[in-house]
Chain A
Amino acid sequence: MVASPFLLPSLIGFAVFSFLPLLISILISLTDWNGLDELTAKGFLHDHFIGLDNYKSILQSDEFWKVLKNTGLYIVLYLPLMLAVSIAIAHLLSRPRKGVGVFRVIYYIPVLTSWVAASLIWKSVLSPKYGAINSVLEIFGIQGPGWLLDERWAMPAIVLVSVWKDMGFFGLILLSGMVGINKSYYEAAEIDGAGGWTKFWRITLPLLTPAIFYVLIVSLINSFQLFPQIMIMTDGGPNGATQVMVERIYKYGFRYYKMGYASALSWILFFIIMVCTMIQMRGQKKWVNFDT
């Protein structure tokens, strides 16, 4: 049997949409090209080549470290909250009860919604004076914060919306992990007199660690790639409090026309994601339980 006709479409796609762009991206990142000037092979290296200057100036800029700090704040708030909420959802939906099917669909609706539509809705809900959240808080006599307009509250607000959007997806992954746990463990624990809380901490959680590991890997990678919610809800503001990597790459490339600088940023993003994923992979032996 001949493999080549079957492989041809993917091979062409790999070359055109992945391999060649990667090579071109490395080259662009070594230049000060603005994305508009005529680009010829000779002129390219002659007029625009600046070596590693883009990478140097990124690492030396205050903005880059601020962007990392913003992303760090997002991760520190988002990961524990998202994990707690999606484990709770998975736990609630794992038991056969009346109406559980309806709730499985309801929790999944935010996942189905586009980020743009979700961000628009939340932007109105979080609106400081007339938004739904602050209107509810006002009933209890609490003066709500400015949310997306307040430097301190903008990133926490983005975290809140992101948890709402992602909890259904990660909840579903954890749910399938929970359903796969052998029932006999629970039966044995019940005979020994374990209560619901003990069963959850001593059986469900340890046996769920492979699924939790997967969720952490995926969600950390996603955390470095926030984009639509930032663009629609804050556009990086207020005062740069929600500037993140992909938003910077987009703006440097397509608003400020610094394609070289943007390409260098994208390679730094790749490097950060790779290092974080490798650290997680290394650490998994310490806490992930693979014997079910």
Chain B
Amino acid sequence: MAIPIEWIPKEPTFAAYIKVFSRFPFLKTIGNSLYISIAYTLITLISASMAAFAFAKIKFPKAELLLKCFLATMMIPTQVTMIPLFVVMNRLGWINSFGSVILPSIFRPFAMFLLVQQMRTIPDDFLNAARIDGANTFQVYRHVALPLCVPTLATLSITTFMESWNDYLWPLLMLTDKTKMTLPIALSTLNGQYATEYNVLMAGSLISMIPIILVYIFAQRSFKSGMIAGGIKG
């Protein structure tokens, strides 16, 4: 860092960016982050929407009780389940595997809650009409219920992707190998190693921000078109 501070650098240089990539497998890290976040988001959307469909549109015994149990887990801080999960993952030898970070997405009560609310607004007549035309339950879910939830699914995909991309505590415990790390973990490692080289840290931070801002801008657009696609006249 220049002393005293140079508000506008006299000689701008990309050296710090080159350093980031040469000292750390940063390209690999970006790939890991993308892979994990995309898989995490997809599994969340699929699993949560399936459960939401069952809760909102299929009658089965003890449905209310089960939904309440699912939603009650939202109150429990993740730190409570973190230690036992670590112990289990450690026993299974899943440390440093992407599965350990991706699989918890299979149960996301908040996403489920939002989708239950959305699916409850779909008139049963829509589903019955499809059924009379010969659609089975899965086809009703896939071709009638899901398209009508596109706005909620779009919002959820942005927030879930963001959460997974920026998640820190759980990946910090699970991904300790340099080649397996996600961006936040890699950055915090850089912080330990090059604590005084702010230019390198800043370059890494900026790189980590670019994809998420792109996703946000892109998703905002598809969010708008999603509103139009979902808005069937009832």
Residues of B within 8 A of A121 (CB): 202, 205
Contact partner of A3 (CB less than 8 A), chosen from B58, B77, B183, B212, is B58
Residues of B within 8 A of A249 (CB): 79, 82-83
Least CB distance from A219 to B in Å reads 15
B129 within 8 A of A: no
Residues 246-292 of A contacting B (Cβ, < 8 Å): 246, 249-250, 253-254, 259, 262-263, 266-267, 269-270, 273-274, 277
Least CB distance from B157 to A in Å reads 14
* Contact across chains for A270 and B137 when beta carbons are under 8 A apart: no
Name A36's closest neighbour in chain B (CB-CB): B90
**In the bound complex, how far is the Cα of B4 from the Cα of A14, in angstroms?**
55
Instruction: Tell which of B83, B138, B202 has the most Cβ of chain A within 10 Å.
Output: B83
* Contact across chains for B173 and A124 when beta carbons are under 8 A apart: no
Residues of A within 8 A of B3 (CB): 130
Contact partner of B184 (CB less than 8 A), chosen from A5, A19, A115, is A115
Mark interface residues in A224-255 (1 if CB within 8 Å of B CB, else 0).
Answer: 11011001100000000000011001100110
Stretch at the interface among B20-28, B47-55, B225-233: B47-55
**In the bound complex, how far is the Cα of B168 from the Cα of A228, in angstroms?**
7
**In the bound complex, how far is the Cα of B188 from the Cα of A108, in angstroms?**
23
* Contact across chains for A227 and B187 when beta carbons are under 8 A apart: no
Residues 25-59 of A contacting B (Cβ, < 8 Å): 25, 28, 35, 39
A76 within 8 A of B: no
* Contact across chains for A117 and B83 when beta carbons are under 8 A apart: no
Residues of A within 8 A of B1 (CB): 124, 130
* Contact across chains for B166 and A114 when beta carbons are under 8 A apart: yes
Interface residues on A, range: 35 or more
* Contact across chains for B205 and A120 when beta carbons are under 8 A apart: yes
B141 within 8 A of A: yes
> Taking chain A's interface residues, is the majority helix, strand, or loop, or is none over half, making it mixed?
helix
A12 within 8 A of B: yes
* Contact across chains for B81 and A22 when beta carbons are under 8 A apart: yes
Least CB distance from A120 to B in Å reads 5
Instruction: Tell which of B51, B60, B202 has the most Cβ of chain A within 10 Å.
Output: B51
B209 within 8 A of A: yes
**In the bound complex, how far is the Cα of B56 from the Cα of A281, in angstroms?**
27
A100 within 8 A of B: no
B234 within 8 A of A: no
**In the bound complex, how far is the Cα of B77 from the Cα of A274, in angstroms?**
10
* Contact across chains for A22 and B58 when beta carbons are under 8 A apart: no
Residues of B within 8 A of A73 (CB): none
From known contacts A7-B54, A25-B83, infer whether A135 and B4 are also in contact, taking CB-CB under 8 Å. Answer: yes
* Contact across chains for B83 and A14 when beta carbons are under 8 A apart: no
A21 within 8 A of B: yes
Residues of A within 8 A of B48 (CB): 10
Contact partner of A25 (CB less than 8 A), chosen from B47, B70, B81, is B81
Residues of A within 8 A of B183 (CB): 114, 116
Least CB distance from B196 to A in Å reads 10
**In the bound complex, how far is the Cα of B188 from the Cα of A283, in angstroms?**
40
A61 within 8 A of B: no
B18 within 8 A of A: no
A109 within 8 A of B: yes
Residues 1-29 of B contacting A (Cβ, < 8 Å): 1, 3-5
* Contact across chains for A21 and B104 when beta carbons are under 8 A apart: no
A195 within 8 A of B: no
Residues of A within 8 A of B70 (CB): 10, 14
Name A132's closest neighbour in chain B (CB-CB): B5
11 examples of A-B residue contacts, CB within 8 angstroms = A2-B137, A4-B60, A10-B48, A14-B69, A28-B84, A113-B212, A114-B165, A116-B185, A121-B205, A130-B5, A225-B77
Query: Apart from A13-B103, A22-B76, A273-B77, what 18 extra A-B contacts exist at CB < 8 Å?
Result: A1-B57, A3-B60, A5-B138, A21-B84, A22-B84, A25-B84, A109-B213, A113-B209, A116-B166, A120-B201, A121-B202, A124-B202, A130-B1, A130-B4, A224-B77, A225-B79, A266-B79, A277-B75
Interface of A with B (CB < 8 Å)? 1-7, 9-10, 12-14, 16-22, 24-25, 28, 35, 39, 105, 108-109, 112-118, 120-121, 123-124, 130, 132, 135, 224-225, 227-228, 231-232, 245-246, 249-250, 253-254, 259, 262-263, 266-267, 269-270, 273-274, 277
